[in-house]
Chain A
């Protein structure tokens, strides 16, 4: 088995005028999980489509399990399992028939495929719905069945394109558990997601893509460290207008104050003894502190720092990025 199970190098793909990929490259070592992270339209799905033999790149190289995707697509298909963003199932077949069909088409004996299908239906908690037509399945059930279909032949390389998008929290948790179990079994996974917590929870390494380019690459920890800024939140016992001036020298940029004047928030540079310094300053000013919290950067912070720094020249793109950053701020506030 190759040491590097997935390799992409300089992938370029245009759809008409749109440049979906503008030279994307990354590699995934055997047995590890790569999270391909980016907003809608960043090029994640296009990269997956190329690696899974569904699309041909206009330039660049791609190898899966050491096999060239462009010259030997059929051999690549024998090594991969794919769970696409839109569930790729046959609506008129039952869940069981869908899985059996996928198994048989992949070269399994009918009996072997049936046994494996039953196993996976059980595992994904679809046994009760197994003999119902898939057209009547909920979104979460379709996703789980699609994931089951991708695992049918126990492929060594898995591509999961936004496996939890549109799922309710319970289904999402269930899918995460399954993916964690898979990871433990030594399979190599490429996972695309818009959710930073998902990448953080599941991936060994994260590649951040935006506008068809890789803008960052590292472990979740490395990426968090890259954006050194942390965030501090102070809760006062009583509102004091002077509090803003007191902490301003210790933080970076503007201090935000809640309407009742009790909560203050600001970006800070991580430094030893920061919380002590803040409390001491506030105490000297005669202000009582109920609570103080220094929060290390989340991947969200990193992500928005990165995508903001990589705005392209065109106005639309930057406006959109700004809007999404602004929305994000609102959500967190």
Chain B
């Protein structure tokens, strides 16, 4: 009898009730988050959309469109665009959540998770937290690139941090929508299409890259009520950067911080329970 393999049935239950407690659940979430971060470290190209893409977008937009787009109310395009680029990059990178979950459902590992006495939502929460951490990295890359090409802010450190937090919180809530997409798609490839069908239009039909004043009336109405516009305008306001949307009458443009917080909370309140329902449905047979 090899001691290592010895089974002690009676003490098994006692040590394993931990996943029922809050602390046990937190530990499950930490384990799952770490697992997803290890995945990223194994395939660093997965990170390209939060490292290379932001640099590329920042340089492209500022040098390509910088001179061509006048800002109503004045100000430099570089100062105007940075919040927009942050929103664009963070919104589109939530695609990673959709693809990651769809991949998990496709691999044998999900069967293992399903027979473990774990807190199952940890699969979703761990995914969203790992993606939030990569979003933070993305935000850092955007900020450093922006500073390198001449972005400046006169806001205090707290306001600067609040601006980043506002956009990150929105991206986090959006990652739960992406989770729903990943949990309902048949394959990782079809989960990726969520990015092109939903995320890119969402990011582009907004005030993120161009002032909405130049848009046709119907499109401007959509853009002004687009949550991405509220988030971007909120960051611009906090950073004392040019914010042409401030002169628009729509409520979210007059109260961009409140509006973006409200959007984020609303999206999270709808998408998170929905995602956990989709997860249950996908893992029931």
Task: List chain A positions with a Cβ less than 8 A from chain B.
Answer: 1, 49, 52-56, 74, 77-80, 82, 84, 86-93, 97, 101-102, 104-108, 119-120, 122-123, 133, 149, 151, 153-156, 178, 181-182, 184-187
Known contacts A56-B284, A90-B35; A156 and B115 CB within 8 A of each other: no
By CB atoms of chain A within 10 A, which of B27, B115, B118 has the most? B115
- Return 24 A-B CB contacts under 8 Å, by A number: A1-B9, A49-B285, A53-B114, A55-B285, A77-B116, A77-B117, A78-B117, A84-B112, A88-B110, A88-B112, A89-B108, A90-B109, A97-B35, A101-B35, A105-B118, A106-B16, A123-B2, A153-B12, A153-B15, A154-B6, A154-B12, A181-B1, A185-B7, A187-B9
Enumerate chain B residues within 8 angstroms of A84, measured Cβ to Cβ: 108, 111-112
Enumerate chain A residues within 8 angstroms of B111, measured Cβ to Cβ: 54, 84, 86, 88
User: In the docked arrangement, what's the CA distance between A264 and B43, Å?
Assistant: 64
Say yes or no: A82 contacts B35, CB within 8 Å.
Answer: no
Enumerate chain B residues within 8 angstroms of A186, measured Cβ to Cβ: 7, 9
Say yes or no: B43 contacts A87, CB within 8 Å.
Answer: no
Enumerate chain A residues within 8 angstroms of B27, measured Cβ to Cβ: 104
Q: How far is the CB of A33 from chain B (nearest CB, A)?
A: 13
User: In the docked arrangement, what's the CA distance between A84 and B108, Å?
Assistant: 9
User: In the docked arrangement, what's the CA distance between A184 and B3, Å?
Assistant: 12
User: In the docked arrangement, what's the CA distance between A49 and B285, Å?
Assistant: 9
The 5 closest A-B pairs by CB, nearest first: A156-B9, A107-B18, A88-B112, A105-B118, A88-B108
Enumerate chain B residues within 8 angstroms of A120, measured Cβ to Cβ: 4-5
- B19 on the interface (CB 8 Å rule)? yes
Say yes or no: A92 contacts B10, CB within 8 Å.
Answer: no
Q: Which residue of B lies closest to A53 (CB)?
A: B115
Known contacts A156-B7, A182-B5, A185-B1; A107 and B31 CB within 8 A of each other: no
Q: Which residue of B lies closest to A1 (CB)?
A: B9
Known contacts A89-B112, A102-B112; A154 and B17 CB within 8 A of each other: no
Residues 200-259 (chain B) with a chain A CB within 8 angstroms: none
Q: How far is the CB of A75 from chain B (nearest CB, A)?
A: 8
Say yes or no: B4 contacts A122, CB within 8 Å.
Answer: yes
User: In the docked arrangement, what's the CA distance between A46 and B274, Å?
Assistant: 29
Which residue of the partner chain, among B5, B7, B19, contacts A106 with CB atoms under 8 Å? B19
Say yes or no: A78 contacts B13, CB within 8 Å.
Answer: yes
| Other 18 A-B pairs with CB < 8 A, given A92-B43, A107-B24 | A52-B115, A53-B114, A78-B16, A86-B111, A88-B111, A91-B107, A93-B38, A105-B113, A106-B117, A120-B5, A123-B2, A151-B5, A155-B12, A156-B12, A181-B2, A182-B5, A182-B7, A186-B7
- B94 on the interface (CB 8 Å rule)? no
Q: Chain B at the A interface: mostly helix, strand, loop or mixed?
A: helix
- B92 on the interface (CB 8 Å rule)? no
- B186 on the interface (CB 8 Å rule)? no
Residues 17-37 (chain B) with a chain A CB within 8 angstroms: 17-19, 24, 27-28, 31-32, 35
Q: How far is the CB of B23 from chain A (nearest CB, A)?
A: 10
Known contacts A97-B38, A106-B118, A108-B15; A154 and B8 CB within 8 A of each other: yes
Q: How far is the CB of A288 from chain B (nearest CB, A)?
A: 52
Q: Which residue of A lies closest to B32 (CB)?
A: A105
Q: Which residue of B lies closest to A77 (CB)?
A: B117
User: In the docked arrangement, what's the CA distance between A82 and B17, Å?
Assistant: 18
Residues 80-130 (chain B) with a chain A CB within 8 angstroms: 107-118, 122
Q: How far is the CB of A159 from chain B (nearest CB, A)?
A: 8
Say yes or no: B28 contacts A105, CB within 8 Å.
Answer: yes
Q: How far is the CB of A85 from chain B (nearest CB, A)?
A: 10
Say yes or no: B113 contacts A79, CB within 8 Å.
Answer: no
Enumerate chain B residues within 8 angstroms of A153, measured Cβ to Cβ: 12, 15-16
User: In the docked arrangement, what's the CA distance between A88 and B122, Å?
Assistant: 18
Q: How far is the CB of B184 from chain A (nearest CB, A)?
A: 20
User: In the docked arrangement, what's the CA distance between A1 and B12, Å?
Assistant: 12
